[in-house]
Each structure stands twice: as structure tokens, then as C-alpha cells.
Amino acid sequence: MKYLDEFRDRRLAEALVRRIAQTSSGRLNLMEVCGTHTVTILRNGIKQLLADETNLISGPGCPVCVTSNQDLDKAIAMARHQGVILASFGDMMNVPGTSSNLQKERAGGRDIRMVYSAMDAVKSAKANPDKKVILLAIGFETTAPTIASSILEAHKQGLENFLVFCIHKLIPPAMKALLEMGEINIDGFICPGHVSAIIGSRPYQFIAQNYRIPCVVTGFEPLDVLQAIYMLILQRREGRCGVEIQYSRAVREEGNPTASKLLGEVFEVCDAQWRGLGMIPGSGLKLRGKYERFDALKNLELQIEDSREPQGCICGEILRGIKEPFECKLFGERCNPEDPVGPCMVSSEGTCAAYYKYNPRSE
């Protein structure tokens, strides 16, 4: 088993597509919550392939995209702070804040470094004892355990100059908020695979039970997605509403207990501001009192500019799944990957960037 070819096999894919067509009894609105799924769907042409059976809607599952302008402006203010090294993941570099972005700040002489893992930031703190190293901690449940372990490591090493700006977010509360808004009619959720590898499949149970919407935890290869869509169609057809795991090679019902313990040790749940979705109760993570000394917001005096949302940008509606990128007046013209207006055009996982690149509209 090599885990790649097997999940991209043409014959199996064709068989699944046939079965989906045979089983389907009407076009279903299915939301893929996670940006990586959006990319798989568009890159492999699945959206067009199943256009008769499904309307695939992209959800709020790109961590860069849901970061609010206000949080970005705070990160920029941190980078401008005297004696600070800001450590950021690659796809945050180009996200526009109210009047600047990290790439521009770096070009202007701020010390902003791209890291590939949270531990790189800890190493950087150790190597630069006269500077404060701030890790821009963004992501969902998938990456939160790595941030937690970096904090524990810094704690163990007694590092005084390692700080974290934690804007981590949680997926299930956002799904709930989306459903509560009632703007969109969803027949099934393609649930994120990597988030679920940490939290398991139980946190989606309320969606199946209270909202009567089937959920399938899904892997990221084309065959994974096709199979998950088939499983969702089957559930609907048979009148079932459950949470099923398609991505069984990585996800267990109970999730990853070690990672969950790590999260519980370092973080507690808090309310969080989402772009497009607003303030969602219980959807963020903040450092527990014991680790407060690592909290960048509590340990720095910042001068933050008044945040404004970019004019004409409909990232918020796109993140809620009520509009497609093509419906945005700025899409592809004023807003493009070279000069993005909204965050959905920045990250490779962002809905607009994926639509721009894989253009599922035209033949």
C-alpha cells in the first residue's frame, strides 16, 4: 500500500461515479467544510463530474481565510513592535490586513520569519535570547496540538522570550453557527479528515441528531471524496442521519487521546471572532492561566490601527457558502492571487484561490 496511487485509481473512480449516478435521486447540496477538500474537488474535476447529482459548496475550513481583519492587524502591530521576531506559517504572509500585510512589513524591515513548524519558533527563541519571538498560532484542531507542545517545550526550557499569538479556532462550533444562521440548505457535510484525526467523529453527532444532516468524515484523495459523497447519498436515500467515517485509515471515533490531552493541558475554550461568521461562542482556544506568560496579547503593549473590512469583498458570504467566488465583482479582476483583496484569494486552500486556479466554471 503506497497510499497515493490506490486512492487515485481511474477504474475505481469511474465505478464510484457510476454508482453515485445510479443511487442519486435528486441534486444534493453537500458542503465540504475543509479547504483541502475544496482543492481535491476542483483539482480533480469532481465538481463538474458530479454536477448532476451534487452541488458542492465550499465551507469555512481554511484557517487563513477565517482570520478576522482585526486579528491580522494585531499580528502586524506585533511585527512592528521593537525587538520582536514574528514567526508565521507561509500562507499568512500575503493576507491583507486593513492597510498592510506581513510581506510588506518584512520588506519594510520588520523581522518576520516563515516557519514550517511551531518548534522552529521555539528554536528561534532560544537562538535569539535578546529578542521576543512571537509565534502566530493559527489553524484548527489539526495544528493546535503542535502549538501546545511548543508551549510545553518552551515552558520546560524556561524560555522567557517565546510568545504565542493564539488565534486558533474550532470547527464544530463554526458548523453549528452556520446552521443556526439558516442562510443555506445543506443536505450533507463532508467533514474534515485531519481535524477529525484529533477530535474524532463524535463532535459532529449533534449535527446528525439535532439538524438531521448526515455527516461523513472524509480523506483527501479523489477516491476518498467520491466514496464519501456516495456514503452521504446512501444515507439520504435510506433516510438515515448519522456520522460515518470514510477516512478510517486515519480517524477513530474517539480521536487521538494523546493530542486531546495535550490540548486540554495548555488551552481552554473561548469565544472567537471569525471572518464572515462573526463572534462564535466556544469556537476559539486561549492559553490557560498557568501558561499566560506565553500569551503575546497579554505581554505586549500594542498600537493597533482601526480595523476595516475591504470594500466590495464578499469573502464572508463565500465562507458561509451562500455565494460562489464567481459572484464577487472583484473576483479575478481587482482581486487575484498577485494582489489579493480578501483572504480567500491568498491561501492555496482558500475558496477563491482554488476557484481562480482550477476554474471549475468553463469548459
Task: Tell me which residues touch other proteins (CB under 8 A).
Answer: 2, 4-5, 8-10, 13-14, 17, 36, 39, 42-46, 48-49, 63-64, 89-94, 114-117, 120, 138-140, 142-143, 194, 220, 222-223, 226, 336-338, 340, 347-349, 353, 356-360, 362-363
CB of 210 to other proteins, least distance (A): 28
CB of 270 to other proteins, least distance (A): 20
- Cβ pair 330, 315 in contact under 8 A: no
Residue 228 CA to residue 210 CA, distance in Å, equals 21
How many helices (H) and strands (E) the chain has is answered by 16, 11
CB of 303 to other proteins, least distance (A): 27
List the end-to-end C-alpha distance of the chain, in Å, as a whole number: 35
Considering beta carbons, is residue 197 or 208 the nearer one to other proteins? 197
Considering beta carbons, is residue 146 or 205 the nearer one to other proteins? 146
Residue 115 CA to residue 162 CA, distance in Å, equals 14
Considering beta carbons, is residue 84 or 352 the nearer one to other proteins? 352
Considering beta carbons, is residue 92 or 277 the nearer one to other proteins? 92
Alpha helices in the chain, H assignment, sequence order = 10-23, 35-43, 46-49, 63-66, 69-80, 102-107, 118-127, 144-157, 171-181, 193-199, 205-211, 222-237, 257-266, 296-299, 315-319, 351-358
Considering beta carbons, is residue 58 or 142 the nearer one to other proteins? 142
- Cβ pair 302, 74 in contact under 8 A: yes
Considering beta carbons, is residue 93 or 245 the nearer one to other proteins? 93
CB of 293 to other proteins, least distance (A): 25
CB of 140 to other proteins, least distance (A): 7
Considering beta carbons, is residue 8 or 27 the nearer one to other proteins? 8
Give the gyration radius of the chain's Cα atoms: 21
Considering beta carbons, is residue 34 or 175 the nearer one to other proteins? 34
Phi, psi of 134 (to 5 degrees): -110, 125
Phi, psi of 77 (to 5 degrees): -60, -35
Contacts of 67 (CB under 8 A, 6+ apart): 92, 95, 138, 167, 275, 343
The DSSP secondary structure of 335-349, one letter per residue, reads BBTTB-SSGGGTSTT
CB of 357 to other proteins, least distance (A): 6
CB of 349 to other proteins, least distance (A): 6
CB of 178 to other proteins, least distance (A): 20
Phi, psi of 263 (to 5 degrees): -60, -45
